[in-house]
Amino acid sequence: METKAGDPGAFVRFDLNRVPSPAFVVDEVAIRRNLAILADVKQRSGAKVLCAMKAFSMWSLAPMIGEYLDGVCSSGLWESRLARDYYKGEIATYCAGYKEADMAEIVAISDHVVFNSPGQHRRFASFLNGIVDVGLRINPEHAEGEVAKYDPCSPVSRLGFPVSQLKAEHVDGLSGLHFHTLCEQDFIPLRRTWESLRPKIEPYFGQLNWLNFGGGHHITRADYQRDELVGFIQSVRAETGLEIYLEPGEAIALDAGILVGELLDVFDNAMPVAITDISATCHMPDVIEAPYRPAMLGERADGPAVRLGGPSCLAGDVIGDYRMPVAAEPGARFAFLDQAHYSMVKTNTFNGVPLPSIWLWNSETDALHCVKSFEWTEFRDRLS
């Protein structure tokens, strides 16, 4: 999977030695720029736009997000609690499978609760009592994903109720339908998805209040067809009479953060091999799961490549081969681009590998401060 981002932006002038290693550095100016783009799409199209917390949950920036967007979407009880405590606007909660013990609190916190199947909707109907807006996630059965395991419409998908099985009885009691079929994609796959899905759900438009087009929209990417998206949403709103929601996650933090690392050791094994304090396994798991190759700040176009790997004991903890912008020697600093989304929320302490600290930088004023640092107790306290 090839990353669609990697614009260094203002980070080309950031001194990597200003922060300890490893560290996430987020440029609040870049975040605000992305939010302004999303707010413009929201205003022109009439859609509501929610921040997908699964991709970006840096709640210290929640007040800024609240200035531009309509709220957040969460993926379960803990994210919903975070949303309640720190974010403004609507809270839309969707989970592939709810626990009965969580439902009363989820309903109390959320403005919208989206179920993954009619069975779950029926099972938890007694918790709803008309006090929360209810939606159903559907599977359009129209694949647009580049990688099968990131495609919610891949065969035997667990995400969403197959639209071919949708009946009038399943729509009773619903306010809306939700679908999420994209991953780092532009407008054209969304339009194709809608063209496939529309005739299958058109009979139910009169019973609904909203449609949620989910996330995966790279709206803030330079080459995204934003005018086409605006016109499309206006058209769908006019023809259906329904409110339209979008749930971007990556788009909010696209090209807005780096992960700073340091070389710990370099040796030769058929090619130069370097051990870093950044671990793919612990700090950038999508490098292994997707897989993908993160862009490096200032990587050279030619010259000898160095294989970078993390400090963990996992043989597969390999980030990739890079032409370093600095001499490959212990103590050298480097950074990976576009790491504010997903990487930050997926970090873990496997092998006791330390978590990166989190820093907020203002590329206009050059102000820099530590938002969060972690001690070894983070590793200790999650175990027993």
The ranges of the chain annotated as CATH 2.40.37.10 are 9-25+256-381
pLDDT of 21 higher than 90: yes
Give the model confidence (pLDDT) of 64-115 as tens digits: 999 999 999 999 999 999 999 999 999 999 999 999 999 999 999 999 999 9
Q: CATH number of the domain at 9-25+256-381, please?
A: 2.40.37.10
The 10s digit of each residue's pLDDT in 189-247 is 999 999 999 999 999 999 999 999 999 999 999 999 999 999 999 999 999 999 999 99
- pTM listed for this prediction: 0.96
> Which two structure tokens, joined as six digits, stand for 66?
């609240």
3-state SS of the chain is CCCCCCCCHHHHHCCHHHCCCCEEEEEHHHHHHHHHHHHHHHHHHCCEEEEECCCCCCHHHHHHHHHHCCEEEECCHHHHHHHHHHCCCEEEEECCCCCHHHHHHHHHHCCEEEECCHHHHHHCHHHHCCCCEEEEEEECCCCCCCCHHHCCCCCCCCCCEEHHHCCHHHHCCCCEEECCCCCCECHHHHHHHHHHHHHHHHHHHHHCCEEECCCCECCCCCCCCHHHHHHHHHHHHHHHCCEEEECCCHHHHCCCEEEEEEEEEEEECCCEEEEECCCHHHHCCHHHHCCCCCCECCCCCCCCCEEEECCCCCCCCEEEEECCCCCCCCCCEEEEECCCCCHHHHCCCHHHCCCCEEEEECCCCCCEEEEECCCCHHHHHCCC
Its CATH class, for the domain covering 46-253, is: alpha beta
For residue 2, pLDDT over 90 is answered with no
| Percentage of the residues of the chain whose pLDDT score is greater than 90 | 94
**Residue 165: its pLDDT value, please?**
98
Summary mean pLDDT of the chain: 96
Condensed to tens digits (0 to 9), the pLDDT of residues 243-290 reads 999 999 999 999 999 999 999 999 999 999 999 999 999 999 999 998
Return the pLDDT at 147.
Answer: 80
Residue 216: Cβ within 10 Å count: 25
pLDDT tens readout for residues 136-180: 999 999 999 878 888 899 999 999 999 999 999 999 999 999 999
Region at 40 (left for phi over 0; alpha for psi -120 to 50; beta for the rest): alpha
- At 4 the pLDDT is 66
Q: What is the per-residue pLDDT across 32-74, written as a single tens digit (0 to 9) for each?
A: 999 999 999 999 999 999 999 999 999 999 999 999 999 999 9
pLDDT of 187 reads 96
What pLDDT score does 168 carry? 96
Question: pLDDT of 335-358, one tens digit each?
Answer: 999 999 999 999 999 999 999 999
pLDDT at 1: 61
Q: Are 272 and 354 in contact (CB under 8 A)?
A: no
Asked whether the beta carbons of 30 and 10 are under 8 A apart, the reply is: yes
Cα separation, 196 vs 32, whole angstroms: 35
pLDDT at 42: 98
